Amino acid sequence: MSDELAIGVDIGATKIAYLLMSRQGAIVAEDHEPTNSVEGSEAVLGQVAAGIDRLLGEAKLIVTGIAIGCPGVVGPVSGVVHDAGNLKWRNVALRAEIQKRLARQDFPIWVQNDVNAAAIGEMVFGAARGCRDFVYIAIGTGLGAGAMVGGRLLEGAYSRAMEVGHLPLDSQGRQCVCGQRGCPEMYVSGVGLQAGFREHRSAYPGSTLARLDRPSSRDILAAARSKDPLALALMDEASDRLSTALITCMRLLDPELIVIGGGVGLAAYDLLHDDLIRKVHSRATSATQQVASVVRSQIENSAVGAACLVWYCQEHNA
């Protein structure tokens, strides 16, 4: 029904976003709070359930369902978060634990990897509206990706499809937390920019950025806009590794569009775009190869994708 509402929740390592939204995209209510991850999964589960109950209290129309996006390896069928490194979660029964904590337990709940949920949001209300074949790249603390193929989410047999951030592209590259070397995440992410800073700092003694002990991603991006040589070197390295990842996605999936999102991705888009496009085109294997357009995400609230997941799952009986 057109007047139904959905609740979307996006669990991040530092923030939880809540959204009560209509099928037409009207935001009825929204909220956010810091993630209490240091207290363990029980504390976060309590936060999420309380946040959902607050939104349910504000709903004046029928709430058709609840969906939760969570980082890591998430089993949409089982409702279990098998491994979420940033939250330090292993085998957390997210759906069941939230269901039993809600004041009302008759709402259907869906769970999904947060980047996959964000890809659905881009297809419904974002930069990929009207596009059935695209890749969504989320650059944040880490590097994630989701893909829609023929209008359907690409999940894989074990819910691990599109691990673009952990493609071991260089056996001599930086050590990654996944155990491999040369993964794009170690160059194109908040973690990657800071790793690059530590690696290259001594080579740029004249850099203003190099004088900082522990610069944030924001510090690095600001320095790049000021033409700091160390920061520019980090951005060049990031665009180089990201272009390789995008070419890999194009070879495998032949998407029409690639959408760049995530906190760092949105903040750095103007710094990355031109160099990224030049490198992608220079690496196309032939003049006849179709190169996907690269565009900026149009979704500002990270819980939009989760809310859209409710209707996506209903429509596809997922």
Q: Give pLDDT tens digits for 15-65.
A: 999 999 999 999 999 999 999 989 999 999 999 999 999 999 999 889 999
On whether both 257 and 305 belong to a single domain, the answer is: no
Same-domain status, 161 and 260: yes
Residues 108 and 161 in one domain: no
pLDDT digits (tens, 9 = 90+) for 140-154: 989 999 999 999 999
Q: Are residues 138 and 281 both part of a single domain?
A: yes
Q: Strand, coil or helix: what is 286?
A: coil
**Residue 198 shares a structural domain with residue 218:** yes
Pick from 1-15, 108-122, 151-165, 192-206: least confident: 1-15
How many other C-beta atoms can be found within 10 angstroms of the C-beta atom of residue 206?
A: 9
Give 225's contacts (C-beta < 8 A, 6+ positions apart): 271
Question: What pLDDT is attached to residue 104?
Answer: 87
Give the model's confidence band at 3: pLDDT under 50 very low, under 70 low, under 90 confident, else very high: confident
Per-residue confidence band for 283, with pLDDT thresholds at 50, 70 and 90: confident
In this structure, the answer to whether residues 284 and 144 fall within a common structural domain is yes
Whether 20 and 88 share a structural domain: yes
The whole-model pTM stands at 0.94
SS3 165: helix
Task: Give me the CATH number covering residue 79.
Answer: 3.30.420.40
Half-sphere exposure of 98 (CA within 13 A, CB side): 27
CA nearest 143: which of 114, 123, 117? 114
Could you tell me if 217 and 167 lie in one domain?
yes
Q: Domain total for the chain?
A: 2
Identify whether residues 170 and 226 lie together within a single domain. Answer: yes
pLDDT tens-place string over residues 87-113: 999 999 999 999 999 998 889 999 999
Query: Given pLDDT bands bounded at 50, 70 and 90, which one contains residue 284?
Result: confident
DSSP code per residue over 81-146 = EEEETTTTEEEE-HHHHHHHHSS---S-EEEEEHHHHHHHHHHHHSTTTT-SSEEEEEESSSEEEE
CB 87, CB 39: distance < 8 Å:
no
Average pLDDT value for residue range 124-142 = 96
- Residues 292 and 305 both lie in one domain: no
pLDDT of 13 strictly over 90: no
pLDDT for the residue 287:
57
pLDDT given at position 92 = 97
Which tens digit of pLDDT belongs to each residue from 180-202? 999 999 999 999 999 999 999 99
Do 168 and 35 lie in one domain? The reply is: no
**% the chain with pLDDT above 70:** 98
Run of H or E residues at 7: strand 5-11
Read off the pLDDT band of 14 (50, 70, 90). Answer: confident
Residue 65 is predicted with a pLDDT of: 96
CA 176 to centroid of chain Cα atoms: 18
Which range of residues forms the domain containing residue 261?
Answer: 129-296
Mean pLDDT, the chain, integer: 94
Sheet holding 293-296, edge to edge: 152-153, 143-149, 134-139, 257-261, 293-296
Does one domain contain both 167 and 287? yes
